[in-house]
Every structure is written in C-alpha cells, then in structure tokens.
Amino acid sequence: MTRHPTEHPQFYLTAPAACPYLEGKQERKVFTHLIGKHAPTLNDVLTHGGFRRSQNIAYRPACEDCRACVSVRVCVAEFKWTKSLKRQWKLGQDILGARLPTSPSSEQYDLFKSYLATRHENGGMTDMSVLDYAMMIEDTHVDTMVLEYRSKGPDSFITGIGQGPLLGVALTDQLCDGLSMVYSFYDPDFDGIGLGTYMILDHIVRAQKLGLPYVYLGYWVDGSPKMTYKVRFKPQEHLGPDGWAKVD
C-alpha cells in the first residue's frame, strides 16, 4: 500500500543568505512541504515545534552560530490588559475585522504594496507581483482565513462586515490550540491608532471566544528593533531547548 508522502515529510536545508534582521549575520532555514490531506495536522505539529508557514512551506531557522530567533505565543486566558493596550483597544472599537475566504483582491494588493513601501522598503517582499500575492493568500492546504479590517458602517451589526476603505489584512491559520498570525499588513498612514497592535489584540479576543489557549506571533528576534513590539503581549511562552516556557 502506497501512503501519501506527507505522512513522512522530507526536510531540506537552504543555503546561507544574509539575515534580514541582524546585520552581518547569515541565516539558514530547514523547511518541508505542507500539502495533501495531512497538511493541517502536520502544520499543527510543526508550529508547536517552532516552524512558521509561508504558502505550502513550513520553515524554521537553522543557523549554525545564532539562536536569536525565538518562537513566541501569547497565553490568551491569562492575557494582561495594560493601560496602554486597553487604550489601543478602545480607540479601535469603530474598526471591525471580518473573516473571509482566502481570496485575494486588488484592494488588498494595493494596501500590501503601500505597507511594504513605507515599513519594509528594502525587504524581500517588495518585488512581489499580483500573482505572487495571490499565491501567498491562496496557496494553502491548511485551515486558513483572511481577516479584513474596515471601519464599522450602519449595517455592520447585521452583516458583520465593515465599510469604507480597507485598513488592514491578516492571513491567519487556525490550529488545534490557537490562531497563528502568518502575515499581516495595514494602512501606514492611518492616524489615531496603532493598527498592528489592534489586529493582534483582535486575534487574542477571537482566540478567547473560540476557547483556544494561544495566539502564535512568529519569531521574536533578540536585538532586532523590528520585533520589539511582540514582547508587549503578556504573559507569553517562548520556545527553548526544553520546550515552551512562560515569560511574564
């Protein structure tokens, strides 16, 4: 009997490349494919082991002389609402996140390009075409959702969908024990609220309502200013050599 190859995933190692987070460092990644009927289960297992998803690839750092990348997940049930986070949440109460199928749109792509041009001008995603973006959204064999954030309209309490211009987008996987924020972007010119912070808070509230214990935020990179925002959401657990450990 021939079994589906995803029951026994094969792992590969990338060649060294310049690290996007720490100057002067080289990065390597170990990766495997997430395809077929076993992809959701494999995605759960690998995420618990510190992997991240990009389209149908699961990867994690495998750098020889650096351990700066640390997997982070927020402990939802014990989440601490600081004064600052409460203020951010209150400021965003006129914004509604609507769960949609994984279908890309030109409006999403325009916002994506605007976000990259402002926040990640020299990043590796700046040259992504419309087709590349569509693949990022659609190419998945796991339980994935798109959350679109817009201002509430007069009919939002009925439709559950905001109105007006698109303010933010989150591509999110639903795991057996949490929500994993695969990628998110937002209007860099929107005033009055930190949309990135609000979107994470929205995921924490969603996970609470779903009875899921964690929100996975990807990697916190010690020494990278780009990643300092992740430590605001406490308590959280970091993945180390002995497994997940709480950091308060």
Which has more confidence, 157 or 43? 43
Give 186-230 pLDDT, tens digit per residue.
998 887 789 999 999 999 999 999 999 999 999 999 888 888 899
Range with lowest mean pLDDT among 50-64, 78-92, 153-167, 214-228: 153-167
Q: Does residue 46 come out as left (phi exceeding 0), alpha (psi in the -120 to 50 range) or beta?
A: alpha
> What residue ranges define each of the domains in the chain, with the CATH number in brackets?
5-68 (no CATH), 82-212 (3.40.630.30)
For residue 41, give the amino acid letter: T
Q: Is 6 a residue whose pLDDT tops 60? A: no
Range with lowest mean pLDDT among 90-99, 124-133, 166-175, 216-225: 124-133
Specify the 3-state DSSP secondary structure of 220: strand
pLDDT of residue 128: 87
C-alpha distances (whole Å) from 180 to each of 11, 134, 175, 200, 236 are 22, 19, 7, 10, 14
Give 110-162 pLDDT, tens digit per residue.
999 999 988 765 556 777 899 999 999 999 999 999 999 999 988 888 888 88
Q: In which band, very low, low, confident or very high, does the pLDDT at 4 lie, cut at 50, 70 and 90? A: very low
Secondary structure (DSSP) of 39-69: HHHHHHHHHHTT-EEETTEEEEE--SS---E
C-alpha 183/C-alpha 164 separation (Å) is: 22
pLDDT of residue 2: 39
- Mean pLDDT score across all residues of the chain: 91
pLDDT of residue 1: 35
